[in-house]
Amino acid sequence: MRTSDFDYHLPPELIAQAARLRGTSRLVVLRRDSGQVSLDRVSSLPALLRPGDLLLLNDVKVIPARIRARRPGGGDAELLLVRPLGASDWEVMARPAKRLRVGVELALARGGAIPRERLGEGTWRVEFVPALDEAALAAVGEVPLPPYIRRPDGPSEADRERYQTVYAKKGRAVAAPTAGLHFTPELLEAFGDRGVEIARLTLHVGPGTFKPVQADDPAEHRLDPEDYEVTEATARALNRAQAAGRRIVCVGTTACRALEHALASGRGRVLPGAARADLFIRPGYRFRGTGALLTNFHLPRSTLLMLVSALAGRERVLAAYSIAVRERFGFYSFGDAMLIL
């Protein structure tokens, strides 16, 4: 298996620059048993699931993680928060990383950021003064839209609302769990009416989700770990569903990755608590809990496309992608959706 096996042609104009109204996105439905592909709408999701299914959501909240700064000698810099390292320190991805100097403060819209230690290629430990509580972060940060969503004047207030699920509750994601962006409160209620149980976990999506696979052999790619938490109630719900043979439908690759990591760590049971998911799911992987997956369309050669291909088969996934291209579906974070059953 080579990274090039996960390439496909996408006309640039199909990269969605704005999201549809929640609940109205188009949907490709791929059935794994037959390879059959049909076209539908996200509003049909409750009817496409079965009573007794368990729908697993990632309720993480996206923070305004992209921070613009000025270097002392002039010139712009950009800091993307990765994870906190203490009360005032964060691991950040910096641009241009080579222009930062230890102890030389960068000016922010409010306060400053002091590089303390180079951690790796493009990453630094940075101290923020004042510390980035919710109010400070709101004052200096902006919505971390992916680079393929073009905003020459920066993200808008509409982007801040739309790049967040309606059930976002807690956490520090720097990218949205985009499959969940399609849901409305009414759609969530319709799942309950259908007899579909809903459970939530929290995986703090990091910038590694956009990290391209550079190696020819995907096995040589290092996938950045991501923190997640499972409550006691969610662990009980998932274990009950597993024991009863009920299908778990993951909303997004982040929920899928957390579930699979939790089952591997717990030797077939989901244990409550915090953990770090370092699982790279690609073809050949044997799924422990994921019975179905709702997901958006992913970049060529990406780890997320490899995960989807592991569940449904590379050839079938790429064939479904070809249909989505032909039918002019929207792709990537603000695009349309795909349901794998």
pLDDT at 311: 98
Does the structure show a pLDDT above 90 at 150?
A: yes
pLDDT at 279: 94
Task: Give the range of the structural domain holding residue 25, as residue numbers without chain letter.
Answer: 3-62+161-340
Got the DSSP string for 239-281? HHHHHHTPPEEEESHHHHHHHHHHHHHTTTSPPPEEEEE----
- 56 and 180 housed in the same domain: yes
- 16 and 87 housed in the same domain: no
Does the structure show a pLDDT above 80 at 312?
A: yes
The CATH number covering residue 98 comes to 2.40.10.240
Is residue 147 in a domain? no
Tens digits of residue pLDDT in 201-211: 999 999 877 77
- 261 and 332 housed in the same domain: yes
- 36 and 184 housed in the same domain: yes
- 80 and 17 housed in the same domain: no
The CATH number covering residue 228 comes to 3.40.1780.10
pLDDT at 98: 87
Contact 118, 96 (CB under 8 A): no
pLDDT at 140: 94
- 106 and 251 housed in the same domain: no
- 252 and 132 housed in the same domain: no
pLDDT at 298: 97
Does the structure show a pLDDT above 90 at 160?
A: yes
How far apart CA 115 and CA 296 sit, in angstroms, is 36
- 318 and 177 housed in the same domain: yes
Sheet containing 197-203: give its strands across: 37-41, 26-30, 337-340, 290-296, 248-251, 54-58, 197-203, 226-230, 273-277
Does the structure show a pLDDT above 90 at 120?
A: no
State the average pLDDT for the chain: 96
Does the structure show a pLDDT above 90 at 145?
A: yes
Is residue 299 in a domain? yes
pLDDT at 57: 98
> Tokens standing for 226?
């991501």
Which among 68, 63, 70, 93 has a CA at the least distance from the CA of 78?
A: 68
- 55 and 106 housed in the same domain: no
Is residue 202 in a domain? yes
pLDDT at 211: 79
**Percent with pLDDT over 70 in the chain:** 100
- 80 and 51 housed in the same domain: no
Model confidence band, residue 73 (pLDDT cutoffs 50, 70, 90): confident
> Tokens standing for 287?
């799924």
Is residue 156 in a domain? no
- 49 and 82 housed in the same domain: no
- Beta 37-41 vs 26-30: how paired, if at all? antiparallel
- 202 and 92 housed in the same domain: no
Question: CA of 55: how far to CAs of 41, 157, 167, 205, 271, in Å?
Answer: 18, 30, 13, 19, 18
Tens digits of residue pLDDT in 48-68: 999 999 999 999 999 999 999
**How many domains does one find in the chain?**
2
pTM of the model: 0.95
